[in-house]
Amino acid sequence: MTHKKLVSTILLLFVFLTLSLAQTPRKVFISVDMEGISGVVHWEDVRTTGRDYNLFRTIMTEETNAAIIGAVAAGAKEIWVRDSHGTARNILPDKLDKRARLIRDWSGAPEGMMDGIDHTFDAVIFIGYHAKAGTPDATLDHTNSSSKIQDASVNGISLPEAGFNALIAGYSDVPVVFVAGDLAICEQVKGLFDTIETVSVKEGMGNAALCWHPSVSYDSIKEGVEKALKNLSAYKPYKMKPPYTLDVKFLSEVLANDAAQFPGAKRTGPWSVQYKHDDLMEMIRVFRWMY
């Protein structure tokens, strides 16, 4: 082999390795809610006082483990799991795959379900997510607060929690690559994000749901996460252009009146409040304060 060919071969190899490394997820963030977990169909299922709560927190943990296994198979070296439901103390620490680190309880940070995310992560995964309030044939659909909010939108786009959380990830330039939950949330995120891998673990039927066996969901989540992370370059952070206009429709006039007391917020209807800001995270802070 001539010197010129040798140099060319080395350069090509260098480029190939650089591109391969650039597409390998090194650090992955997993946010886990509970309403979209396999088999969950009733509010009692996701409350600590519920008869079957311990069963469903176990399934929640195993769906998370499936995502971790898929992430590791795709090359992830560091994985953070954010327990994002209720008390944020649902996932069983001793049953969680030991290759991941777990964030439990709420720190009080405005990121909430995305607490811990920053620019050092390569990808975000949502497990157990649900559709926004008022979605037909959706399991336990709500938007951030089932007792307070009817709808919430940013820049005219009505968002589920997955949308708000994707914006927070996008603030740190991190893309959401995978979502698991009921069929309704899978359809909603496909309408929001340019590219997204999803796994539906159940399909709403009014107040009921047609559910896959948990073991089937585990396999699908593992395969879906691995597939998404191996195609990392196809995903882009979810972003909107500033200024950010937050419109929230509450479930009562009292709630709307209370929210309108925040400096800069204004009533826009009997139950509606609007707030504008040039900084996304300031808008997120105000939204969290409102509910």
State the distance between the two ends of the chain, measured CA to CA, in whole angstroms. Answer: 69
Which residues is 277 bridged to in the sheet? 244
Torsion of CA 19, 24, 26, 30, to 10 degrees: 140
Nearest CA to 250 among 142, 156, 112? 142
142 is catalytic: yes
Whether cis (ω within 30° of 0) applies to the bond prior to 214 is no
Radius of gyration of the chain (CA): 20
For residue 159 the two structure tokens come to 């968002």
CB distance 61 to 37 below 8 Å: no
Q: How far apart are CA 190 and CA 70, in angstroms?
A: 21
- Going from the C-alpha of 45 to that of each of 34, 93, 135, the distances in angstroms are 9, 20, 20
Which is catalytic among the residues 3, 142, 213, 277? 142
- Beta-sheet pairing, 157-158 with 100-103: unpaired
- Beta-sheet pairing, 27-32 with 78-83: parallel
Provide the 3-class DSSP secondary structure of residue 87: coil
Show the DSSP H helices in the chain as ranges: 3-22, 53-73, 161-171, 183-192, 214-229, 253-259, 280-290
Residues involved in catalysis: 142
